[in-house]
Amino acid sequence: MSLIKTKEEILIMAEGGILLAGIVKKLEKMVKPGITTKELDNTAEALIFECGAKPSFKGYDGFPAALCVSINEEVVHGIPSKREIKEGDIVSLDLGLEYKGYHSDMAVTVAVGNISPRAQELIGITKKSLEAGINKVRPGRTLGDVGQAIEECAKAHGFSVVRELCGHGIGKELHEDPQVLNYREKGFDQKIKTGMVFCLEPMLTIGDWNIKKSSDGYGFRTKDGSLSAHFEHMVVVTEKGCRVLTES
């Protein structure tokens, strides 16, 4: 599968990205004490179908929902349930949709009411580290440059970068090459080229970066129980830099 997307493919993915961003924005506003994670999932799936798209996650490797909802020490891939969101939680929403045969993917982390200053900083720096990575995306640079920028931003504020999970290429498949690490690693220094479309998704923790599988077999959580935050955008590489496709 080609790493370079055509103008026609990019146009479709841009349309899908705008639709996805609009849905995520609506879900963010719903995140309040008392709402269940399953209610968020039901709304996400309904909104996806309303715009003529399909959920990317539901059925992917058996995942049973359209939306991933991960709370506090949960890093990613939390399965929606009857669990109620509480005051003081931090909630990560990760959503993908398939539109006209092409996937879009993004994630945000939301504070629920009053949270600790350190938790608030975690959310802010995770978002800032994503921006730092995006700012490094341009033809001629490498994915290692992107990962290094993300990790340096996180470490400068005392946070750890989850190393076992990473960003990815995207297109007709939800996960395509290349892998987009959130740190620099030898052997993962691929040159960035115009027309590439991929997702950057830093996952930061307050404590150690090691993670473990949740009991449901799908989710991941921090081994030490520390808080985690997650942000993700899908970008296309342009001649002079990149354009974020998951912004409404």
In the numeric block, the tokens 């150690």 are attached to 208
In the numeric block, the tokens 């960003």 are attached to 167
CA dist 132 and 203 (Å) reads 14
Q: For the residues 47-63, what does the mean pLDDT come to? A: 97
> Are 111 and 231 in contact, with CB atoms under 8 Å apart?
no
- Model pLDDT, residue 138: 97
Considering only the C-alpha atoms of the chain, give the largest distance between any 2 of them, rounded to a whole number of Å.
48
pTM comes to 0.97
Average confidence score pLDDT of the chain: 97
168: left (phi over 0), alpha (psi -120 to 50) or beta: beta
CA dist 125 and 110 (Å) reads 13
CA dist 66 and 206 (Å) reads 28
- Model pLDDT, residue 85: 98
> Are 172 and 193 in contact, with CB atoms under 8 Å apart?
no
Residue 221 has pLDDT above 70, yes or no: yes
For residue range 145-199, what is the model confidence (pLDDT) as tens digits?
999 999 999 999 999 999 999 999 999 999 999 999 999 998 878 999 999 999 9
How many other CB atoms sit within 10 Å of the CB of residue 197?
Answer: 26
For the chain, the structural domain boundaries read: 7-244
- Cis geometry, peptide bond prior to residue 178 (ω within 30 degrees of 0): yes
What percentage of the chain exceeds 90 in pLDDT? Answer: 96
How many other CB atoms sit within 10 Å of the CB of residue 161?
Answer: 23
- Model pLDDT, residue 1: 63
Query: What is the 3-state secondary structure of 12-50?
Result: HHHHHHHHHHHHHHHHHHHCCCCCEHHHHHHHHHHHHHH
What letters, b where the CB count within 10 A reaches 16 and e where it falls short, cover 46-70?
ebbeeeebbbbbbeeeeeebbbbbb
How many other CB atoms sit within 10 Å of the CB of residue 145?
Answer: 17
Would you mind telling me the total number of residues written for the chain in this entry? 248
Rg (CA), the chain: 17
What distance, in Å, lies between the first and last C-alpha atoms of the chain? 28
Assign 124 a pLDDT band (cuts: 50, 70, 90): very high
CATH 1.10.10.10 is right for the domain spanning 7-244: no
- Model pLDDT, residue 139: 97
